[in-house]
Amino acid sequence: MLQEEGREKKLFGTDGIRGIANRFPLDIETAAKTGRAIARVFAKQPGAKIYIGQDTRLSSDMLAMAVASGICSAGIDACLLGVIPTAGVAYLTRNYGGAAGVVISASHNPFEDNGIKVFQANGHKASRLQEEAIENKVFQDNEELSEPGKLVERNGNLDGYLEFLKNNFKIFPKHIDIIVDCANGAASDIAPRLFASLGISASIMAAAPDGRNINADCGTEHPDRLIKEVIATGASMGFAFDGDADRLLAVDEKGQPLTGDQLLAIYADHYQRHRRLKSATIVSTVMSNLGLRQALRSMGLDFRSCPVGDRNVVEAMQESGAIIGGEPSGHIILRDIHTTGDGLLAALMLLEAAGASGLSLSKLCKKLIRLYPQKLVNVPVVSKPPLASVPEINSAIAGVENELGDSGRVLVRYSGTQNLCRVMVEAEDERLVTKYADLIAECISSQLGH
């Protein structure tokens, strides 16, 4: 199966604007123009305010100030929140009267990268039409500049978000020890405070950001240290966040990482048992495991698939009325509580579900879901022509799909944020999964690689 992107965008990818800091489109000139464009699109009333949060990258201060300068140049006040998780910006924007929210982060990418994500006043990510409007104003803005807005620093930014997280959870396992990997990112300050305030014994690691060590051998992309620590200490579970803490990777007491599909199965079961499930539909992406569909079916629940990207998940949830959705990567949206993916929220809900079940995390997973073997290969590419236009790639995919029949599936798509082509093969036989994923990946590399 091929998945193609729609309109080619100049700035925005699947999750905001991404690139190498200090180079287009993450240079200060373009960032300032983007800030002004965001103000023009979202701030229609005098006295409007736009919130700006950031992660711990070396370049985040620079880009936050550039975006803020652009916002002020449009006559709108810019409120600097400092280092805060992406979900915290969405929460504060929605609950403290912001016209829009901006996050300076490249999530799980290396420190050299950075990005700009935009939230609407209601706490949802900017729509595609709004992103197009921002792009148009960045490249074609001829409007006269007005009297400048002010730069405002808001104190106690984490406190309101921290209380919001705490107030939504009451049930936790007793006598539990957890390990928390903050990825030297946006969770580094708030995560230790959160778990301590709830009386949960948490050993904290990777919570000393220096501007360069965000996601470096830690966090959701590099869980090896977390796994070793969980096993060595006999902890009940471990949590790893990414750079902006909107994703969660959980590790059970045996050191086995859980996928987003396993988390969704746990949340679905927990919500259903406690009569919190307002819809029988659970949403995930085309990358989700066939095992999730089977697990939900056994619970009497429906599965809805959508394209990759947490914004696509939210849109599908809104259309179907679902309140639980997410991605295998660990983006989890609990729509009855928040508007966007939130790693801290997902971690608390996992603690609640485990506590309510009375089971260890490994036993809870084993009870609820059996995952099919799956392999994902990221193939570096120098260009991204429509995949359907490359006969050799089409032939390789069709051949594998024919061999697998109904016992597996293939998905090939470009990354929306990096120069990669992602190949996913899933089947009951793990040997076939590896064989066919590598076969397709080698074909793509020969046609589109360096």
Q: How far apart are CA 208 and CA 36, in angstroms?
A: 33
Q: DSSP 3-state assignment of 368?
A: helix
413, 421 contact by CB (below 8 A): yes
CA-to-CA separations, 221 to 4, 109, 214, in angstroms, rounded = 25, 9, 11
226, 251 contact by CB (below 8 A): yes
Q: How far apart are CA 56 and CA 183, in angstroms?
A: 10
Residue listed under structure tokens 């809104």: 318
Tell me the chain's radius of gyration from C-alpha atoms: 22
C-alpha angle 179-111-78 in degrees, rounded to nearest 5: 95
CA-to-CA separations, 405 to 59, 226, 408, 410, 413, in angstroms, rounded = 48, 38, 7, 10, 20
155, 123 contact by CB (below 8 A): no
Q: How far apart are CA 149 and CA 281, in angstroms?
A: 45
Q: How far apart are CA 26 and CA 29, in angstroms?
A: 8
Q: How far apart are CA 287 and CA 367, in angstroms?
A: 22
Q: How far apart are CA 150 and CA 258, in angstroms?
A: 45
Sign of the four-CA dihedral 21, 181, 15, 401: positive
107 is catalytic: yes
Q: DSSP 3-state assignment of 230?
A: helix
Q: How far apart are CA 397 and CA 422, in angstroms?
A: 13
State in Å, rounded, how far the first CA of the chain is from the last one: 24
Whether the link from the prior residue into 386 is cis, omega within 30° of 0, is: no
Q: Which of 59, 60, 105, 107 is catalytic?
A: 107
277, 324 contact by CB (below 8 A): yes
> Which residues are catalytic, by number?
107
